[in-house]
Amino acid sequence: MDWKPNTDSHLTLHDQIIDWIKERIEKGDWCVGTKIPTQRQLAAQFNVNRSTVQLALDELRAEGLLQSKRGSGVFVSNSSWNVLVNKTNPNWQQYIEGSVHEPNYHTIQLINQYEQVDHIIRLGTGELSPDLLPTKQLEESLKEISLESKAIGYSSPRGSKALRTTLCTYLKKKGIYTTPENILIVSGALQALQLIAVGLLEKGSLVFQEQSSYLNSVHPFQSAGMRVMSVLRGKNLPEHLRRLKKNKQSLFYCVPTLHNPTGYSWTLEERIAFYQTCKELQIPIIEDDVYHELLFTSGIEPIKALDTSGQVLYIGSVSKTLSPGLRIGWVVAPPPVIERLADIKMQTDYGSSAFSQEIVAHWLSTGLYENHLGQLREQLKIRAEFVEKILYQKFQSLANWEKPEGGFFIWLKFKKPIVNKALFLNLLKRNVLINPGYIYETRDLYHIRLSYAYASLEELEKGLDILFEVCSEY
């Protein structure tokens, strides 16, 4: 213990002290929980100023190796391993924490946590109930799949040719005419957003989104250094976009069909006007169309169907229709974009599961998929009507809503701003989990995203009863 820092070293005195203390901890001389000598004692031992010791201790504290306990001194904190490897890429963490307002973030964590709890009634969950997944048919279909050796090796960059080819046929029915070269198979729509964020945009680019937007559409862009800006659709949008864009590279992320969380679908006129504006301003569009299959009355086509200039990057997926566990989605875009995204995908995960791709290709090409979709829409419609009936009976004086046109959600709007964290927590106490509007847009205290897709009819009824009781108290 008679070590002293070397004044001739190229390292500063406090860096040497840091190294020495780290060595003590590593070697176990000072094990976890050890109270270390006071600043005064250390300064005397090292023959340096107290301020030098303080600098070193502050840094070690910041690194998490040391820990002050008020009034009782400085201690060696938990295993240095944690400190060493659990250091987070600071930008990443900063984005995650900085981007989402504190209260939202905590609510989202609670939602994620309570979604794992068994007896909770999940009124907000944006996924198909296990009952609605065609589990048995999927199991059956596995028996019909024939594999080729080539198909289960490393994949070609764009993904299975068979799947891309059958997708072309499938997409025609939505008015999208494309070729396998314009398609990239991805591991779900979320991965598509991720690839676009890192592959196509410069740091500092603007990503426009509608106010109240799909939660996971924010992080990928922010983490990659883009700025996400909320805008309101409507007459002023073109002028607004023009003003915001200036000379910046930018992009518009939208969910024009059965939007998450609002459930709203844009009219044809809105689509055309929006497409024209973006074309004029040279703002590429990401059209996230994962709910399109779930329109109760088909008819409206994706914006991509209007696209003559390669302005739209179109994203689809089977997560909302067949099984999220397949992790299969697709991007339709001009070849240079596809090549770029494919290249990054190969560098990240070498392609999506060949087995999942085979299964999806099988379901698409045999018509199993469309058969299933017909049934699924019927089921969802029954659920939607069930919930609407309850809403009519109980909530008319409290809230407004629009008749759902498909998908999972009703965007219930209360007449008073009662949807705050207290309401969320009160409901949680009664085992009802909701997705409050403020997680999508901080200032929104009016909305709840009701999902009729997840909970059983019984649970929906019970959950809405409790919701009614709790809301009535406000």
Ligand X SMILES: Cc1ncc(COP(=O)(O)O)c(C=O)c1O
d(CA 241, CA 336): 26
Q: Which stretch binds its own copies (CB under 8 A): 16-24, 69-77, 426-434, 461-469?
A: 16-24
Residue 260 interaction partner, one of ligand X, its own copies, none, beta carbon < 5-8 Å per kind: ligand X
370 binds its own copies (CB under 8 A): no
Residue 465 interaction partner, one of ligand X, its own copies, none, beta carbon < 5-8 Å per kind: none
396 binds its own copies (CB under 8 A): no
Q: Which stretch binds ligand X (CB under 6 A): 186-194, 203-211, 228-236, 363-371?
A: 186-194
For the bound state, the minimum distance from the C-beta of residue 226 to its own copies, rounded and expressed in Å, comes to 10
d(CA 143, CA 371): 18
Tokens representing 310 are 């390669």
Binding its own copies (rule: CB under 8 A), the pick from 124, 220, 256, 406 is 220
d(CA 259, CA 213): 8
Nearest residue (CB) to its own copies, 72 versus 86: 86
188 binds ligand X (CB under 6 A): yes
d(CA 84, CA 86): 6
Question: Which 170-199 residues touch its own copies, going by CB under 8 A?
Answer: 187-188, 190-191, 194, 198-199
**361, 318 contact by CB (below 8 A):** no
Residue 351 interaction partner, one of ligand X, its own copies, none, beta carbon < 5-8 Å per kind: its own copies
Binding its own copies (rule: CB under 8 A), the pick from 97, 148, 370, 378 is 148
For the bound state, the minimum distance from the C-beta of residue 70 to ligand X, rounded and expressed in Å, comes to 44
Query: What are 268-276's contacts with CB under 8 Å, separation 24+?
Result: 268/300, 270/233, 271/300, 271/303, 271/306, 272/306, 273/238, 274/233, 274/237, 274/303, 275/303, 275/306, 275/307, 275/311, 275/312
How many Cα atoms sit within 13 Å of 445 on the Cβ side?
A: 11
DSSP string, 59-119: HHHHTTSEEEETTTEEEE-S-HHHHHH----HHHHHHHHHHS-HHHHHHHHHHHHHTT-TT
Residue 179 interaction partner, one of ligand X, its own copies, none, beta carbon < 5-8 Å per kind: none
Residue 288 interaction partner, one of ligand X, its own copies, none, beta carbon < 5-8 Å per kind: ligand X
Question: Which 337-356 residues touch its own copies, going by CB under 8 A?
Answer: 337, 340, 344, 347-356
Q: Which stretch binds its own copies (CB under 8 A): 69-77, 215-223, 364-372, 437-445?
A: 215-223
**404, 410 contact by CB (below 8 A):** yes
Binding ligand X (rule: CB under 6 A), the pick from 46, 214, 252, 401 is 214
How many Cα atoms sit within 13 Å of 249 on the Cβ side?
A: 9
Q: Which stretch binds its own copies (CB under 8 A): 220-228, 291-299, 370-378, 381-389?
A: 220-228
Q: Which stretch binds ligand X (CB under 6 A): 176-184, 317-325, 413-421, 445-453?
A: 317-325
d(CA 209, CA 380): 27
Element (H, E) at 448: strand 447-451
Instruction: Show the binding pattern over residues 242-261: x = contacts ligand X (CB under 6 A), - = does not.
Output: -------------x----x-
329 binds ligand X (CB under 6 A): yes
Binding its own copies (rule: CB under 8 A), the pick from 70, 102, 130, 235 is 130
Question: Which 361-420 residues touch ligand X, going by CB under 6 A?
Answer: none
Binding its own copies (rule: CB under 8 A), the pick from 8, 71, 72, 116 is 116
Q: Which stretch binds its own copies (CB under 8 A): 17-25, 37-45, 369-377, 456-464?
A: 17-25
Closest CA to 137 of 125, 148, 146, 145: 145
**Of how many residues is the chain composed?**
474
Q: Which stretch binds ligand X (CB under 6 A): 109-117, 187-195, 235-243, 390-398?
A: 187-195
Coil, strand or helix: which one is 378?
Answer: helix
Phi, psi of 329 (to 5 degrees): -145, 180
Rg from Cα positions in the chain: 27
- What is the pairing mode between strands 285-288 and 250-254? parallel
Nearest residue (CB) to its own copies, 227 versus 413: 227
Tell me how many degrees the CA angle 320-321-323 measures, rounded to the nearest 5. Answer: 80
Footprint on this chain of ligand X (rule: CB under 6 A): 126, 188-190, 214, 255, 260, 288, 290, 317, 319, 324, 329, 350
